[in-house]
Structure 1
Amino acid sequence: MKKYILDLTVKSVEQVHERYVLVKLTSKETLPQMLPGQFVEVRVDGSATTFLRRPISIHFVDYQQNELWLLVACIGDGTKAIGALKSGDVLNCVLPLGHGFTIASDNRKCLLVGGGVGVAPLLYLGAELKRQGVEPTFLLGARTGKDLLMLDEFRKYGRVMVTTEDGSEGEKGFVTNHSVLEQEQFDFIQTCGPTPMMKAVARVARQKGIDCEASLENLMACGLGACLCCVEKTTEGNLCVCKEGPVFNIKRLLWQD
């Protein structure tokens, strides 16, 4: 796909959690095509300690409103600077980058599993699946109920199941402990989140013989496969996650633990 370097205008910044903001961006021109699972590289202006662009998953694209949504975890100086943006500010982005999720267009029963800020790309994926006539089931995990993000948005596109480590909402435990994995049979699992969580999801998928894709969150600097800092060992050798991924079928990954 063609890549663009665009100055996008901040439409709004919404604090959805004490650590997360939802940034909605727009443009005078029609936004280019973007696929679920792809990401953008954001230039951070006004931060003396931030020299490299920050990779951020595409959370949602609303073509009717000409909006790109980014769900940002405000952790370091760079992401905190993004979270401090105001309506009317300009954010320079390189997009769309990477290879995204497979969009099932048949009657496959899809389970989308996310944890933490890893839930971000699953909203756009769920919307595209529903557009194709496939209503997904979301299985979203967090430490506590207050850490669950954007649940009402996810419910627009499918059934939502949740787990929390403290049991304050949904079922207590990790996403791989949820009863839906024992009670129902799925044809396809797609996941994004902390690596230990994704490896656990991949293990369950292998045990049950379910096709599975994972969106890796390796550290990325350039987003174009030039700097080699995001290399992942695969069945095909070392591959740059930013260029060959970030989405991989787990059969290509050396996740056998």
Structure 2
Amino acid sequence: MSTLSAINTSSEDDTVLVLGATGKTGRRVTALLGSAARPASRSASTRFDWSEQDTWEPAVRGTTAVYVVPPENPVLLNDFVDVAVKAGVTRLVLLSMRGAPDDDPFEAAVKGSGTEWTILRPTWFMQNFDEDIFAPSVQQGELAVPAGDGVHPFIDVVDIAEVAVAALTQPGHHGQTYDLSGPEALSFPEVLARISEVTGSPVRYVDIAPEEFTAVLREVGYSEEIADLVTMLILLIRKGEEAHVSDSVRRVLGREPRTFADYLGSSKFA
């Protein structure tokens, strides 16, 4: 059950609003949904901007479900959920994160919507190494993070997107919080060694102080709040608190999650 034809059981009249449609998960959710998707972002034909509330209702009008990549402010998400429900949306799928507390305000906004909801709590993305936060450093041959020898079950965003589409289009996912992970826990040195094997270019791992890492994030444009959050999440890996593997991908999709080798074969490193 890993293709759209296998997991999409929605009506031909259903339209799914995909927020963050140009992002790592959003564009893959859009591709899987095909004609059922209404991709929305600041640059898409369906314009959506969290900072401009007059873009919300036109974007959500006529849709039945929403894939929600949340803003930084939970108040905005609360307000958007109200708009979506008034527009007739009956299903919300939220991209959250591993370790989010049960009283997380972003999750609370979706759970209190009065509609069907599903929460996705994935681990760190494999694609961070070739598409996002770690990519520039990997390309330069040295990645410095304060993770020590801690291990983490990085997940391929393809798996997140397929679980999201299942929740958006199939019955049986209402009220579920899915902890999503890859099939094996790897350290940063192990990840970089595997990348080097594929590319033929060595990538060195440097274990740096947390405050140094936070400062680097701020220098490249991350807000103070997000830089502190990212550092805190990395330190959880360092402390050994992020090693556990979950079975939600298999339970939802009926197959094992993609391995790091699978990711490398379809990544920019291939």
Q: TM class by shorter-chain length? A: 0.3 to 0.5
> Which structure carries more strand by proportion?
1
TM-score (structure 2 length as normaliser) = 0.32
TM-score (structure 1 length as normaliser) = 0.33
